[in-house]
Amino acid sequence: MRARAMLFTAIALVEVGAGLALLALPALGISLLLGIPDPALEALIVGRVCGAGLLAIGVACWFARDDSGGRAQDGLVWAALVYNIGACSVLTLAGLGLSPAGVALWPVVALHGALTIWCALNLSGSAAR
């Protein structure tokens, strides 16, 4: 499997899973990430909107995984890089400010950090083409 196809498949699986989980059970996701056992209604709504966004990212990556490459794929990798940098940064700041954080927070930060690095490496490899 090509490197970019592997990256898109990994992102698709992670983000579709997270998106569906947040759409269906936003309170559980918020509790696991932030350690908030009973989030407010507003947080549940925002969690579901985030779930829809993650689902969209995952679907886009799934359908792009077998494309032949080009500017659209580069754009999708750039979008994934920006998203992962943002998610990693926001969750890290939340984890440093929350006491205690949810049990899944630091593993999710590590996952987004790894995806950030993978996207950056993939883009640096595509620049050499």
pLDDT for 125: 75
- Residue 73 contacts by C-beta under 8 Å, 6 or more apart in sequence? 4, 64, 67
User: Where do the structural domains in the chain lie, given as residue ranges?
Assistant: 3-127
The model's confidence at residue 2, banded by pLDDT at 50, 70 and 90, is confident
Q: Is the peptide bond before 37 cis (omega within 30 degrees of 0)?
A: no
- Smallest CA-to-CA distance from 55 within 24, 93, 100, 85 is with 24
- 14-64 residue pLDDT tens: 999 999 999 999 999 999 999 999 999 999 999 999 999 999 999 999 999
Question: What's the whole-model pTM score?
Answer: 0.90
Tokens representing 60 are: 């886009």
Banded pLDDT at 85 (limits 50, 70, 90): very high
Kindly tell me if the per-residue pLDDT of 126 is higher than 70: no
How far apart (Å, rounded) are the C-alpha atoms in residues 21 and 29? 7
